[in-house]
Structure 1
Amino acid sequence: MPVERRDIRTLDHDVRWHVSAFRIPRSGADHADRVSRLRELRARILYDNGRRPEFRDACGAHVDDQELDYGAWHFIARRHPRGPVLGYIRLSTPETGELFQSRAHLGEQRYEQLLAEEGAEPANTYEHSRLVVEHRARKLGLGVYLNAVAIGAAHHLGAKLMIGTSGTKDGQDRFHGRFGFHPVPGTRCYVERYTEDVVILRHRTADGAGEYTDLVSELRHRFPSLMHDDPAEWASAGSENPPEPAALTSGVAPDRDAWQPVLLEPCHAADYATLTALLESDHITAVYDTIDAQLAELISCREPHLRHTEAELEHKIEEQLAGVEPWAYGSWFWYPWSGRLVHVLPREEFRLVRADRNRGKIERPQQRQLREHRIGIIGLSVGNSAAVTMALEGVGGAFRLADFDDLSLSNMNRLRASVHHLGVGKAVLCARQMYEIDPYLDIEIFTGGLTDETMTEFFHGDGTPIDLLVEECDTPYVKIAARECARALRIPVVMDCNDRGMLDIERFDLEPDRPLLHGRIGDLHAADLPELTPQAKSDLILAMVDADRISPELAASFGEIGRTLSSWPQLASDVALGGALVTSAARRILLGRPCESGRFYVDLDHLISPDYNTAATHDGIPA
C-alpha cells in the first residue's frame, strides 16, 4: 500500500517552512524503516539532554515505540525540501481510536462520557500528539505552524472533536489553548515518563482555532490540493538530522578565531536576505527572541512612575513598533563562535534599558558621554576583568584589546572563562565576552600583543586615538614603551597591580611632563631595557610595584619563582577587585571628575579587620 503524502509550504513573517505529511498504513512491513526513523527523531527531541530519561535506553538509543504510529498522519518540517528535519507532529485517526493515549489516560467510561458531552462519535474524533521541535527552530514559529497544519488536516478530514494529552511544565497546555484547546477538568496528573504534569485537552472544530483560526482555515483548504508522492524525499527524512553529541567526537575543531558578531537588521533588504540564508543553513544552534519582554522593559524604563495594565502595555508596545512586525524590529546578532542567533532592541533603546539600573549613580547624559570614548587595554588576564566590568557598566563604547597569549588552564584561577575556551586567544575571548554583553560595542583586537610594529595603530587607529589606556601586561618593555607613547599623546594611564588593591593612575592628559610610574624607574627608557641583566630587570619590576609596599606573600614569592612556584601568585578576588577599581577610575577620568595622579591602596586584608568593623560590640552592645 503506498504512503499518502501532501506537501504544505507555510509562511511565518516571510520565514518559509516545508512541511511534508505522510499517512502510514496500519498494516504492512514495508514501512517499518520509516516509522523507526520517525520514532528516533521524536525520542531524541523528547529526551532533551536527559530531561526525560525514559526516552533513552540502556544502550544509548532513543526509543519512543508506539503502535499509534501505524494508521496515523505524520508531519515533518524543514526549512527547505532537502534540509534537516526541524520538527514533527502526529495526527491519529479514528482507525486507531482504541489506542488513543487520551483514551488510556481517561479510562474507557470517562472517555465515552466525554465524547457524549461533546456530541462526538469515535468515527469523527481525532487525536493529535507528539509535537516536537528542535531548539533552534522554536523561536521561529515552527511549533505554531506544525500545530496549525495538523489541526487544519483534522478539520479537512472531517474531525468533529480533537483530543490529546499535553505537558504543562513549559506552558504547552497554554500554547495549545491559543488554538482553541481546553483542558478536561480533573485530568491533570503527574506522568513519570514525561517528568511533569500532563492534562487532557479537547478541541471542537466547529468553534474554530482560537487566535489561529484564519491560519488553520487556510491550511485546511490547501491540504487536498497539495498531494503528491515523492518516496525518495521521504527516504531521506531521518538521514540529515544533526548528529548526536556522542557522534561529535569526530575531531571537528571549534572556531577559535571568530570574535565579531554579525549584525542583521531585517528592515534592510540585504540584511533580510542574509538572515533568511542563515536560517536556512546549519550554522545556527539556537535562536533567542525575547523582543516582547525587552519592549515591555523599554516602556517601563521610560515611564517608571506608571503601572500599566496588560492592555495598556500592549497598546504602548504597538505604538513603539509603529506598524513594524515584532520579528523585524531592532537587530538580530549571530555569534559565529557559538551559533546563537539573538534578537535585541535597536542600539539606543537597547542601551537605555541595559543601563537603566545605573541611573541614580550614572545618569543618562553621563551614560551617553561615557559611550563616546575609546579605551585601550593591554594584557587580558587582569585586564579581562577591567574590560568586562567596563562593558557591564557602560564605561566606553569602543575598545582596542591587545594580548599575544592563549588561555591556559592555570589562567582559569582568575580569568572568567570556561574549559571549552582553553587554547582560545585572550584577546579573542575578551572580545567575545564583551560582545555578548553589548553587541553594539566597537572592538578591535591585537592578537600579537603590543609591539613596536603595532604601537602606532593601537594608539591612533585609523585616526581615532584612544582616550584612556589600561595597562596590565607582564612585559617590562611594553609597560614602559606604552607609557612613553601615552605621555607623548597626553593619554591617561590606569593600572591595577593585583596586590593589596593597588591602583596606579598617571594623568598624562593633565601633566604631559610627568615622570613615568611616578619617577620610580628614574630616567630609564624602553630602549634601554634590552641592555639590562636579568637581575636588573627583576629589580626594575620591584621598583615599578614599590617593593616596600607589596604584600608579604607577594614579596616572599619572588625568590620562589622558578623553584617552587611557576609564576607569581594571583587570586580571582584580587583580579575582580582590580576590575572594579580600574573601571571606577576610568569613569571618573572620562567624565572629568576629580581623579588625580597617584598610587592608591584598597587593601581588603586591612579594611576587613576588627579596626574597621562598624558593627563591633562593646560589652555585648552593638556600637
Structure 2
Amino acid sequence: MERLRELRARILYDNGRRPEFRDDAGAHVDDQELDYGAWHFVARRHPDGPVLGYIRLSTPDTGALFQSRAHLGAARYEQLLTAEGAAVGDTYEHSRLVVEQRARKLGLGAYLNAVAIGAAHHLGARLMIGTSGTRDGQDHFHGRFGFAPVAGTRCYVERYTEEVVILVHRTAAGAGEYTELVARMRDEFPLLVTDDLDAAPAARRESPDVPAALATARHGETDAWRPVLFEPHRADDYAAMTDLLESGRVNAVHDTITAQLAELIGCREPQHRYAGAELERRIEEQLAGAEPWAYGSWVWYPWSGRLVHVLPREEFRLVRTDRNRGKIQRPQQRRLLGARIGVVGLSVGNSAAVTLALEGVGGAFRLADFDELSLSNMNRLRAGVQHLGLAKTVICARQMFEIDPYLDIEIYSGGLHADNMAEFFGGEHERIDLLVEECDTPYVKIAARECARALGIPVVMDCNDRGMLDIERFDLEPDRPLLHGRIGDLRAADLPELTAQATSDLILAMVDAERISPELADSFGQIGRTLSSWPQLASDVALGGALVTSAARRILLGAPCASGRFYVDLDALIAPEHNTARELDGALT
C-alpha cells in the first residue's frame, strides 16, 4: 500500500503542479483511509516489472469515506443518490486513475478504467460515482465510459490546483463507446483475482514455448512464415535467444532500439523537441532500469535469418501508426487493431492484406489461397523471383509480419472450400469481423458470401478494373441478395452443374458486363486464343488495395459505408475536364 501511495502521489505531484502531494522532506504522500477495504488494480508489463498504472475501486463498505461524499457533503450526497434511484449499498466509487508518463498514449488508462468499471458491474453496482479533474480533459475521458457530470458540482479544489466535478455512471446504461470492453472485463473479472493461470483466456496466457518454436522454424525452409519473438527479461527466452545466436542460423542482427525509443518519446510528447542529454535522460526514464538490449522484443525471421529488435507491442504500434493521427485517432487505431479480417484470394488480395497491415486496419488475419506464385503473377503481386513456387499465403504472411511482428495470422494454403469454411469464419469468440473476397473461383465467391450473410459479416471486394469496389453490408442487411441480386437465386450448391459457357456468363454477371472497361470486355473473347487469361495491371491492383482498406476502415469504425458498387475509374478521373490546374497551366503557356 505504501508503494502504491508513493506511486500515485508522485504522478499526481506532476513535477510541482500539485505541491500538496509532496511533504517538507521531499517525500511523495497520498495517505487515504479509503485505501483499506478497496480493490486496487495495478498494471505492469510483466509480473515482476515496475508498475505502469493503477486505479482504485471503492465498495459500499467504505461509502462513508468516498471522496465524492466528502466533496458534496453528506446531505447533498444522499440527495444525489436518491435522485439517481440508488442506495448506499449499491453505489461504488472509482478514483486515483494514474498512469506513468512512459506508458501514456498506449490506451492503458482506458483499460484500467474498463477493469474498474467492469469489476463494479460484476460486483453488483447500480451506480458508480467519482470526482474528476477538468484541466486536461479527464472528465471528457470518463464521459466516453458513460459518466455524466452532476450539475452544480464543478468547483476549484486547491489540493488538485484545478476545477473538479462529480460524475455518475449508471451501470444499466452501459459504458458508452467502451461498453463492449467493459462487458469483457466484467466477465473476466473473476480470472483477474485468481492465481489459476490455466483458467485464464488464451489472450492473457504466457507466450508460446520459444525453444519449441525455434526447433520447428529452421532457416531456409520454403514454408517458414511465422516469426519467433523473444522477450529477454524472461529466462527461457533469454536462453533460447542465446542458443539461436550461437547456432550460426542468424545472418544479420538489426538493433535500432535507441532510435525507436527516441521516436516513442517524440510521438508521446510532440510539443517537446528533446535532444542531447535531455533526450538521453528521457530514454533512461523509459527504460526504467532495464538494459536497452533487454527492452521490448527481439524478432527472428527464419526465412531471412534476420534478428530484429523492436519496441514492446503497444509502444511499437503507437510509433508505427503515429502518422495516421489526424485521420485515424489513437482510440480508433486501437479499435481497428482489435478486428479480425479474412482475406480470400491472394493475388489481388495480397495488395489488400498488405495495405490493411500497413494502415493498422486489423490486428488478426486469416489468409486463404490454394495457389503458388508463378512468374506471370509477378506483373501485379509484390514478390521477388526467389519466391517463385512459394505458396501465396506464405508470401503474404511474411510480408505482413515484416510490417508488424505482433500480428495474429493464420493461413489456409489449401484455399477456402466446403470442409474448412466454418473454421475460416470462426466460432463465436474468434469470428472474423470482415471478409475481403478476391478469389477467381465462382463456387468460393458465392459460398463465402452465403456463409458471411448467415453470420452477419460484411464483405468487401475489388475487381481491379475501372476501380470497381463492391460492398455488401450483411451485418446491417441480413436478407440482402448476394452480389446485389446480379446472380438471381443461384446458390453455391448449383455451381458444379454449370457448363463452361454458363460459368463465363456467371462471371460476367457478377462484374456487370455493361460496366467493365472496353479493354477487359474485348479480352474475354481472346482468352484461350491470343490471351492466356484476362488482363490485370499492378496499378489497378494497388488501387484496389487502397479502396478495400478505406472501406474496411469505415465499416469497422462504424462510419458511413453503405452496400453498393462504386467506381474510382482513373481513366475517367484523370481527364482534361477534371484538371483543377487548367487556368494556371493556361497562364504558364
In the superposition, the TM-score normalised over structure 2's length comes to 0.62
Is 2:219–2:304's contact at 8 Å kept on the other side of the alignment?
no
Residue 420 of structure 1 is matched in structure 2 by 386
Counterpart check, 1:366 vs 2:300: no
2:222 matched residue in structure 1: 256
The alpha-carbon deviation at position 308 of structure 1 amounts to: 1.4
Match of 1:516 in 2: 482
Distance 2:296 2:512 in 1: 51
2:458 to 456, 470, 492: 492
CA RMSD of aligned residues (A): 1.5
Contact 1:466–1:491 (CA under 8 A) maintained in structure 2: yes
Match of 2:430 in 1: 464
In the TM superposition, what is the alpha-carbon distance from 1:620 to its structure 2 partner? 2.9
- Corresponding residue to 1:589 among 542, 548, 555: 555
Does the CA-based 8 Å contact 2:456-2:478 persist in structure 1?
yes
368, 376, 380: which is aligned to 1:402? 368
Deviation (angstroms), 1:618: 8.3
8 Å Cα contact 2:219-2:302 kept in structure 1: no
Deviation at 1:434, TM superposition (A): 0.1
Counterpart CA distance in 1 for 2:585 and 2:233 is 71
2:522 corresponds, among 547, 553, 556, to 556
The aligned counterpart of 1:134 is: none
CA contact (8 A) 1:259 1:432 kept: yes
Q: Residue 220 of structure 2 contacts residue 302 of structure 2 at CA under 8 Å; is this kept in 1?
A: no
Q: Structure 1 counterpart of 2:467, which letter?
A: G
The share of aligned pairs that are identical, in percent, is 79
Tell me, in whole angstroms, the C-alpha distance in 1 between the residues paired with 2:334 and 2:473. 23
Shift in alpha-carbon separation, 1:481–1:576, aligned structure 2, 3 A: same
Closer, same or farther in 2 for the Cα pair 1:511/1:462, shift >3 Å? closer
Question: What is the CA deviation profile of residues 466-507 of structure 1, one whole-angstrom value per residue up to 9, with x for unaligned ones?
Answer: 000000000000000000000000000000001000000000
After TM superposition, the structure 1 = structure 2 runs for residues 250-329 of structure 1, keeping only pairs within 5 Å, are 254-329=220-295
- Partners of 1:454 and 1:469 in 2: how far apart? 15
Q: Give the deviation of 1:463 after TM superposition.
A: 3.9
Find the counterpart in structure 1 of residue 535 from structure 2.
Answer: 569
The one-character-per-residue Cα deviations of 1:358-382 (angstroms, maximum 9, x if unpaired) are 0010010000000000000000000
Q: 2:409, 2:588 → 1: CA distance? A: 51
Displacement over 4 Å in runs of 4+: none
- For residues 400-428 of structure 1, the C-alpha deviation after alignment (integer angstroms, 9 at most, x for no partner) is 00001001110000000011111110000
Does the 8 A contact of 2:229 with 2:299 survive in 1? yes
Specify whether residues 281 and 389 from structure 1 end up closer, same or farther in structure 2 by C-alpha distance, changes over 3 A only: same
Q: How far apart are the structure 2 equivalents of 1:610 and 1:512? A: 43
CA distance in 1, matches of 2:427, 2:587: 61
Displacement of 1:437 in angstroms is: 0.2
- Cα drift, residue 256 of structure 1: 1.4
Aligned to 1:621, the other structure's residue is in SS state helix
Structure showing greater Rg:
1
Residue 508 to residue 344, structure 1, CA distance change in 2 (3 Å): same
Q: Does 1:606 align with 2:572?
A: yes
Correspondences of 1:27-426 after superposition (within 5 Å): 254-426=220-392
* CA distance, structure 2, for counterparts of residue 429 and residue 402 of structure 1: 12
Distance of aligned partners of 1:508 and 1:332 in 2 relative to their CA distance in 1, 3 Å threshold: same
- Opposite residue 273 of structure 1, the aligned amino acid is A
Distance 2:466 2:277 in 1: 55
| Secondary structure class of the residue paired with 2:247 | coil
Is the Cα–Cα contact under 8 Å of residues 427 and 445 in structure 1 kept in the other structure? Answer: yes
Distance 2:231 2:536 in 1: 43
Task: State the distance in 2 between where 1:619 and 1:452 align.
Answer: 58
Contact 1:616 1:622 in 2 (8 A): no
Instruction: Quote how far apart the aligned CAs of 1:621 are.
Output: 3.0
Whichever residue aligns with residue 407 of structure 2, its letter is L
Q: CA deviation at 1:538?
A: 0.5
Q: Structure 2, unaligned stretches of length 5 or more?
A: 1-217
Shift of 1:254: 4.0
The offset of 1:327, in angstroms, is 0.3
Count of aligned pairs between the two proteins: 372
Aligned to 1:546: 512
Can you list the C-alpha shifts for 1:561-593, whole angstroms capped at 9, x where unaligned?
Answer: 111111100000000000000000000000000
Q: How far is the alpha carbon of 1:619 from its aligned partner?
A: 9.5
CA offsets 1:158-177 (integer angstroms, 9 cap, x no match): xxxxxxxxxxxxxxxxxxxx
Amino acid at match of 1:288: H
Q: Confirm or deny: 8 A CA contact 2:357 2:403 kept in the other structure.
A: yes
1:436 aligns with 2:402: yes
CA distance in 2, matches of 1:291, 1:526: 51
Structure 1 position 255, deviation (Å)? 1.9
Distance in 2, Cα, partners of 1:253 & 1:618: 57
Q: Tell me, what secondary structure is at the counterpart of 2:396?
A: helix
**How far apart in 1 are the matches of 2:222 and 2:446?**
31
The answer for the alignment partner of 1:166 in structure 2 is none
**Alpha-carbon shift at residue 319 of structure 1 (Å):** 0.3
Partner-residue secondary structure (3-state), 1:474: coil
CA contact (8 A) 2:345 2:368 kept: yes
Kindly indicate whether residue 544 of structure 2 is the aligned counterpart of residue 578 of structure 1: yes
TM-score for the superposition, normalised by structure 1: 0.59
Query: Which runs of structure 2 are paired with 1:474-489 in the superposition (5 Å)?
Result: 474-489=440-455
